Every structure is written in C-alpha cells, then in structure tokens.
Amino acid sequence: MPDRRADSAPAPMAVPMVDVSLQNDPLRQEIAAALMAVIDSGQYILGPNVTAFEREAAAYLGVEEAVALASGTDALHLALLAADIGPGDEVITTPFSFIATANAIRYTGARPVFVDIDPATYNIGADAIAAAITPATRAVLPVHLYGQPAAMQEIAALCAHRGLLLIEDCAQSFGARRGGRMSGTFGLAGCFSFYPSKNLGGVGDGGLVATSSAAFAAHLRRLRNHGSERPGIHEETGFNSRLDELQAAVLRIKLRRVDAWNEARRSAAREYGRRLAGLPLSLPQEDPAGTHIYHQYTVLCADRDRVLAALAENGIAAAVHYRLPLHCQPVLAGCGAAAMPVAERVAAHCLCLPMYPGITAAQIERVAAVIRGVLSS
Ligand SMILES: *Cc1c(COP(=O)(O)O)cnc(C)c1O
C-alpha cells in the first residue's frame, strides 16, 4: 500500500528565515558553562557580566561608554529622554523602519517628522533631513536599515552645523562600519538591540546605548534603575530597564564571533547576487562608503506576493520588512506626514530572503531557483 499521507504532508521548511542553532551549536559548552556560573553565583541583576559586557562592547565599538538595557526599544527611548527630548520637540527620522523607531520618539512626547528615503540604500540622507529642519527640530534619528549604514559623515556634519543632536538606531547594524568607524559612534548615542534574530542576538531581549559622553552614560544608568545612582536615593523618575546577567553572559561569548558572522552574511549576499543576477529584481545596492552587514537581504520585486507564495509552497521562508511605512501606520496617522513616494514604493515591493550566518550555497540556490521559476514564467 502506498503511504498516501506522504503526498499530502506539508513540505519541510527547507530554508528557514533565520537559524540560530548554527550559531549556538559550536558554542554549546561555553554557553552552558557561562549560564551555570551565573546561576550558581546568585547574582542576576547588574552584576559582573553586565559590567564586563559593557566594557567589551564599548571597546569593540570604539566608544568610551556602553550602557546595557532591557531592549533596543528602551535604548532608543532612554537615549531620547537622557538627551532631554520631550513635548514640543521634533525628531527627524525615517518612515521605513520598525515601529519601535517612531514609538520611542512618541513615548517622550516629541513628534516624529518623517523624510523620504534614498531609493538606492533605503536610508534617509542629509539633503532630505536638511529640508525638514524647523525651529522645533531637536534631533535626527537615522536607522541603518537592513545592516547598511546611512550616510553618517554627511548627516553628522549637518547636525553639527545646525546644532541638532544625533541619535542612531543601530538595531540592525551591530558591527557595520562607515569610513572605518562603527555605526552608533557618529553622534551622541548609538542604540542597539540584541533581539535574538539581530546580528548580535541574545537568548531573549536586550539592548545597549553606546556613547562617548560620561555624563550621558551616567544619566542612562540612572534611568535604567528607577532614577537611582546611590542605593535608596531616587533623583528622577526612571524605569526598570536592565539587561540581566544571563543575557550578558551569552552576549559576551557571541560578541567575540560577531565579525565572523557578519562576514558570513556578506558572503551569503554575494552568493545571492550571483544567483539572482539578470532577473527583473532590484538587488541590494552597497554604498561603497560603508560596509553592509546584511541583517536582511532584501530585494524589490514587482511580483512580490506571487514570489512570496511560491517560496512558501516550496518550504522556503521569506518576510516583508516593512509592508506599511511608518507614516501610513494607523497609530501614526495623527503625525501629519506628507506622502513619501519612495518609502511607499519600496514597502510595496520589498521582500527579505532567508539570511543568516551558515546558510549554504545549496539553500541559496533553492531560493534562487524558485524565484527564477516565478519570474521567467
Ligand atoms: C529590532 C528593532 C528595534 C527594537 O529593538 P527591540 O530590542 O526589539 O526592542 C528598533 N529599531 C529597529 C530598526 C529594529 O530593527
């Protein structure tokens, strides 16, 4: 009797969107030992691993200080608060990002002002930012989308010239450089996320602010700990936003591999580029002034939803980041944003393909073969 169930069973997910086990497996013993050491120590909050991780992350990034927090969203929110941004202020940012970028601005009472993105890099640039400056503008908050740094020398020069604070959303760009300098080190603050799928990912939530201002770092350390620097004394209304020792212990181990993992992502991107060449797709364009570390490998495709369906049928994961730009989100409808034609067009056509360190050439070929099949039929 033929096994009829075999015909109707769903195809296995041959290519996942992200595969963290490839990162974790070779580090299994090291991670297990570090986690047990924390558990045995009984010190779970603001202990030696957080202090060491902050020191190691600051050294890696090339800044004076790093303050570890509970999430990337908190990193943005607390950095804006510590920069004294609040009601009546405007913060210029991108409409093409995760909702957390805009939410962090709104938590402070300030208004996000969106400017359209560059069609090649999907990041905001200095000219668009300059055109949106008003007397209420206090800060600029660029995002290094998909792991490609925005034009930071130009943006930093504009901010210096116009007296604006510069706070970077580096949630997707840990280890990406521009002009030899790390993303997150061009202004007052660089805000990072260690959400598990990010380039440096924990085994839970986590975040960090990089800065070279000792006073700003001290303020962030108060804000993450209920406004308290000295035990029992609360100087201001703060939050509970601490990275915990278990996460810090894992992140310390992973930090030592992040350059190799980013290099593996770049190499996977080159493989995609070779296998998707010549198709009616826009492949990612690398700005030669920076290093794209491919948090996502994103193509633009006129037939996006047909490709997405074919990939799913073939057991291949893919994602759309982001289907709706921020200025079109219902929650932000009151922000009074103008039309952003580039962001709207990119949102309508973008498709993020499976990307993680360790994805094989055979898996990339599977993805490419399905896309070729759709686009040449
Ligand atoms: C992931 C992400 C965040 C938020 O980070 P969390 O750690 O999930 O809070 C903010 N901005 C961007 C661009 C992100 O990709």
C-beta of residue 347 within 8 angstroms of C-beta of residue 297: no
Amino acid at 48: P
Mutate to test the pocket of ligand 1, among 98, 200, 203 (most ligand atoms within 8 A of CB): 98
pLDDT tens for each residue of 19-36: 999 999 999 999 999 999
pTM here is 0.96
The atom number, within ligand 1, closest to the CA of 207 reads: 7
Residue nearest to atom 14 of ligand 1 (CA): 171
Amino acid at 334: G
The atom number, within ligand 1, closest to the CA of 101 reads: 11
Ligand 1 center to 135 CA (angstroms) = 29
Ligand 1 center to 191 CA (angstroms) = 9
Banded pLDDT at 360 (limits 50, 70, 90): very high
Please tell me the distance from the alpha carbon of residue 9 to that of residue 62, in angstroms, as a whole number.
51
Map residue 279 onto helix, strand or coil: coil
The atom number, within ligand 1, closest to the CA of 73 reads: 9
pLDDT tens for each residue of 147-177: 999 999 999 999 999 999 999 999 999 999 9
The DSSP line for 240-278 is: B---BHHHHHHHHHHHTTHHHHHHHHHHHHHHHHHHHTT
Please tell me the distance from the alpha carbon of residue 122 to that of residue 113, in angstroms, as a whole number.
17
**Is 247 a pocket residue for ligand 1 (Cβ < 6 Å)?**
no
pLDDT tens for each residue of 127-147: 999 999 999 999 999 999 999
Banded pLDDT at 12 (limits 50, 70, 90): low
**Is 169 a pocket residue for ligand 1 (Cβ < 6 Å)?**
yes
**Is 98 a pocket residue for ligand 1 (Cβ < 6 Å)?**
yes
**Is 185 a pocket residue for ligand 1 (Cβ < 6 Å)?**
no
Nearest to 193 by CA among 155, 147, 159: 147
The DSSP line for 159-203 is: HHHHT-EEEEE-TT-TT-EETTEETT-SSSEEEEE--TTSSS--S
**Is 148 a pocket residue for ligand 1 (Cβ < 6 Å)?**
no
